[in-house]
């Protein structure tokens, strides 16, 4: 991650686009979907700490990952993953660093800090590959510096560009990978207070890693560039 290359999610930090020197970077797919709701919450309540636990689809590993899932259902050995992905959750995405974290986990930590413009933000992450074809799911725990009213917090998310809140537990409504696939938004639900800290929440976040996590985010950056050139 080059400090001189803007890392952009258009709903979050479009002001960074003009600061490029010929290159604008797409963040990691798992980071993109998370920072959209997190930026809105950070603006309102000031984030103190984030704990990421991801459940990432095989499409994030490319066609070979999808093939491993489909072939595994036929009893064939994996070619992309170190173990069969069928009936397994593999807590290993990308290579391991000497500190025990994977590069995927370190990317989420460092990219979130850069995008939220808080290099000292406390973040930890565990990233897991799961037997889902498309759309990443994430459990996100957030601790705030400020107190909050839960109803108000949900309203903040409901009015955030790029976020769709699906949070009706009485009717079993919450984000699912099958529903997020084919869309560009981050779907957020299971929003609830974390009673283990003074001011914290848990929420579930799901997004199409192929669309918003890759292609759509790049297209949106280009659209913003065109808008700026026409001003």
**Residue 56, number of CB atoms within 10 A of its CB:** 25
CB within 8 Å of 228: residues ≥ 6 apart: 17, 18
Cβ proximity of 9 and 24 under 8 Å: no
CA 93 to chain centre: 14
H or E element: which one contains 105? helix 103-115
What does the alpha-carbon distance between residue 160 and residue 166 come to, in Å, rounded to a whole number? 13
- Three-state DSSP at 150 gives helix
Marked catalytic residue, from 21, 89, 92, 136: 136
- Three-state DSSP at 137 gives strand
Across-strand partners of 59?
Answer: none
Q: Clarify whether 136 is annotated catalytic.
A: yes
What does the alpha-carbon distance between residue 146 and residue 199 come to, in Å, rounded to a whole number? 7
Q: Clarify whether 29 is annotated catalytic.
A: yes
Marked catalytic residue, from 21, 29, 183, 205: 29
**Residue 161, number of CB atoms within 10 A of its CB:** 10
Active-site residue set: 29, 136
């Amino acid at each position: 991650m080059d400090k001189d290359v803007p890392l952009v999610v258009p709903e979050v930090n479009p002001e960074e686009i003009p600061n490029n020197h010929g290159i604008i970077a797409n963040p990691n797919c798992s980071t993109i979907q998370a920072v959209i709701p997190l930026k809105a919450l950070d603006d309102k309540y000031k984030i103190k700490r984030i704990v990421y636990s991801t459940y990432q689809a095989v499409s994030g590993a490319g066609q070979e990952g999808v093939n491993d899932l489909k072939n595994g259902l036929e009893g064939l050995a994996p070619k992309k993953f170190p173990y069969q992905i069928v009936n397994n959750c593999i807590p290993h995405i990308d290579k391991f660093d000497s500190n025990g974290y994977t590069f995927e986990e370190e990317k989420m930590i460092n990219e979130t800090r850069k995008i939220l413009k808080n290099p000292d933000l406390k973040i930890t992450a565990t990233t897991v590959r799961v037997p889902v074809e498309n759309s990443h799911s994430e459990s996100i725990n957030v601790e705030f510096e400020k107190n909050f009213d839960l109803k108000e917090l949900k309203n903040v998310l409901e009015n955030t560009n790029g976020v769709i809140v699906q949070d009706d537990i009485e009717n079993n409504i919450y984000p699912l990978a099958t529903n997020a696939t084919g869309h560009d938004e981050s779907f957020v639900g299971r929003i609830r207070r974390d009673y283990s800290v003074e001011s914290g929440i848990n929420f579930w976040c799901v997004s199409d890693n192929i669309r918003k996590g890759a292609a759509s985010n790049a297209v949106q950056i280009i659209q913003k560039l065109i808008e700026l050139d026409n001003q």
